[in-house]
Structure 1
Amino acid sequence: MHTLLSILHVLLAVITVGPAMLLPWLGERALRERDGERVHQAGRRCMAFNALTLVAALFGALTTVTSDRYSFADAWLIVASTLYVIAVVNGTAVIPGVLARIGKELQDSHGVMGGELLEQHRGRLLALAGLNLVFYTAVVILMAWRPGA
């Protein structure tokens, strides 16, 4: 049973974490093209894929429960779980909120946005997307490496 849960955990993580990490960058691209609808769409998809990573996390928790080698007290798992929670909150609430706000502004202004305002939005979005990329990457590294295990 442990092996099956582990396989499902890894499979779901591969399917969901990749898009969760990369979808905000599509929002940035749509922002550069001043396409409010695509910015909104990227935000919705970002939220959905980040939320779907919770299914992978559930299978990860079940894998840990059924494991003889790992426990929730392992330092690498505590750090990875903490970073994961931060990434999920950022990816399901913060980034989609920013994308929704930007998309609405673009739609309300019919794609016309001043260069300075565009760069402010772009900078904020790139910072948040970069943080999410770093957090998810750290989680993947910790899950693969399992230091001290």
Structure 2
Amino acid sequence: MTKVLLSLHVLAAIVAIGPVTVAASMFPAAVRRADLAQMRTLHRICRVYAVLGLAVPVFGFATAASLGVLTDAWLLVSIALTAVAAVVLAYAILPGQAAALTAEAVPARRLGMVSGIFNLLWATVVVLMIVRPGSTTGA
């Protein structure tokens, strides 16, 4: 069962989080070009896949419980970084994109910076999931 849960967790991360990171990164350039159609599409991708992304921690917790690693430091750090990434997405990226769509003055530079932070958080989580400091698997 652990292999199924881990597979679902990784698949959910690739399918849900991947598009959000790419779309969030592309949005500032669309703002600079004032490409409203592309901005709408990218914002929709971010919104829809953010909701789908909720499956990632659900399967992640199930996998961690099945592996018995819920109290491991690397996992706790990953959980904290995931929570920070979710907050950045919910309270900075999505509102900033929505404001840009309504012609409010939202600096593309700020959106780019926030998207970069979001992507860096996810990259760190991925590294922690692969390296797993203190792991006894030898990986």
TM-score by length of 2: 0.88
User: Where does residue 6 of structure 2 map in the other structure?
Assistant: 6
Q: Report the AA paired with residue 86 of structure 1.
A: V
Q: What corresponds to 2:100 in structure 1?
A: 102
Alignment size in residue pairs: 135
Match of 2:49 in 1: 49
* Runs of 4+ with deviation above 3 angstroms: none
- Alpha-carbon distance in structure 2 between the residues aligned to 1:38 and 1:93: 21
Query: Alpha carbon RMSD of aligned pairs, Å?
Result: 1.7
Tell whether 2:79 aligns with 1:81. yes
In structure 2, list runs of 5 or more residues that go unmatched. Answer: none
1:123 paired with 2:121, answer: no
Partner residue, 1:142: 128
TM-score normalised per structure 1 = 0.82
Deviations 1:32-89 (A, max 9, x none): 221234323322321222232210211111111111xx42211000111111111112
Q: In structure 1, the residue corresponding to 2:107 is in which secondary structure? A: helix
Judge conservation of contact 1:36–1:102 (CA < 8 Å) in 2. no
Contact preservation (8 Å) 1:27, 1:99: yes
Percent of aligned pairs with the same amino acid: 29
**Higher RCO, 1 vs 2 (CA within 8 Å, ≥6 residues apart):** 1
